[in-house]
Amino acid sequence: MNISKKIITIVVLVMIGLVGTLFVFAHIIVLKNFTTLEQKDIIVDLDQAVDSIKVEVQSLDVMTADWGYWDDTYQFLTNQNQLYVINNLNDNTFKNLKLNHALFIKNSNEIIYSKSFDYNEIQPLPENQDFMQEVITLLSHTQWSDLNRSISGILSLPDGPLLVSIRPVLTSLNEGPSPGFIVFGRWLNLQEVQRLADINHLKLSLYLLNAQNLPQDIEQIKSQILINSHYLSQPNEKNIIGYGLMNDIYDKPALIVRVEKPREIYT
């Protein structure tokens, strides 16, 4: 081989090496950028899921205010008129409002009326003593200097997470004195979670932090999720999972939000 051919061969080999090196670096950079985008995307989905639950709490609270600031409810707390129950607290009302529980409490500790209802199956539910006791405890530890305030959020109960709103009952003019409280509750059960998942186009699941027999991946990330507001996991090449944490009505960590989606680079 003469010198010119050797030079050409060396140049070609060097060029191949440079192109290969550039390809490897470009591949690494592209994968890194995709990974960063995937992580940002799953965090957006997590925030969307958390916000949708917060919106449900706010909607329940507004509904509780509508019922609590009403002369008819005010009179019911005062005289326990059964026509109020017949006209307003029938099964259709619970179905239309998507209510599982309603409590009417005279003063702060006497439950004068309660109803529990499954609005999906259209049938009564047994009274939930844990829920009722939790509400009475909440009321006993709360100062109501502002009668226009409310307590709303998530209750962690043995039967699962319950969205709750508690408001003092006032007249239709928002005037007191208040004769007691109205409490509305809605279970954050599988049907409700699926409804939120469908609305937001997410693969969504929820778990109480203190629940028994949690899935393995939830058990593994519990300590991390208490430190960081988000935790991300890539269990395989094709999926990415985001975990978030929501506080309960006492502002304590209570609910793990899990969102899973396919990694776009592999789909």
pLDDT in tens, 183-217: 999 999 999 999 999 998 999 999 999 888 899 98
Q: Checking phi first, is residue 80 left (phi over 0); if not, alpha (psi -120 to 50) or beta?
A: left
Domain range holding 136? 57-191
CA distance 112 to 97: 21
Sign of CA dihedral 108, 61, 55, 143: negative
Domain boundary among 128, 161, 191: 191
119 lies in the same domain as 170: yes
CA distance 116 to 124: 6
Q: Give DSSP secondary structure letters for 153-206.
A: EEEEETTEEEEEEEEE-B-TTS-S---EEEEEEEE--HHHHHHHHHHHT-EEEE
Helix (H) or strand (E) run with residue 207 in it = strand 203-208
152 lies in the same domain as 89: yes
Return phi, psi of residue 237, to 5°. -70, -20
84 lies in the same domain as 174: yes
Identify the three-state secondary structure at position 26: helix
89-103 confidence digits (pLDDT tens): 999 999 999 999 999
In a domain, 196, yes or no: no
148 lies in the same domain as 225: no
Write the CA distances from 48 to 6, 34, 39, 131, 183, integer angstroms. Answer: 62, 21, 14, 28, 27
Identify the band that residue 8 occupies on the pLDDT scale cut at 50, 70 and 90.
low
Q: What is the mean pLDDT of residues 110-134?
A: 95
In a domain, 75, yes or no: yes
Domain boundary among 167, 191, 215: 191
250 lies in the same domain as 149: no
Tokens at 247, concatenated: 């506080």
Q: Which residue has the higher pLDDT, 5 or 100?
A: 100
180 lies in the same domain as 82: yes
CATH of the domain at 182: 3.30.450.20
Q: What is the pLDDT of residue 12?
A: 53
Residue 27 scores a pLDDT above 50: no
Domain boundary among 134, 157, 191: 191
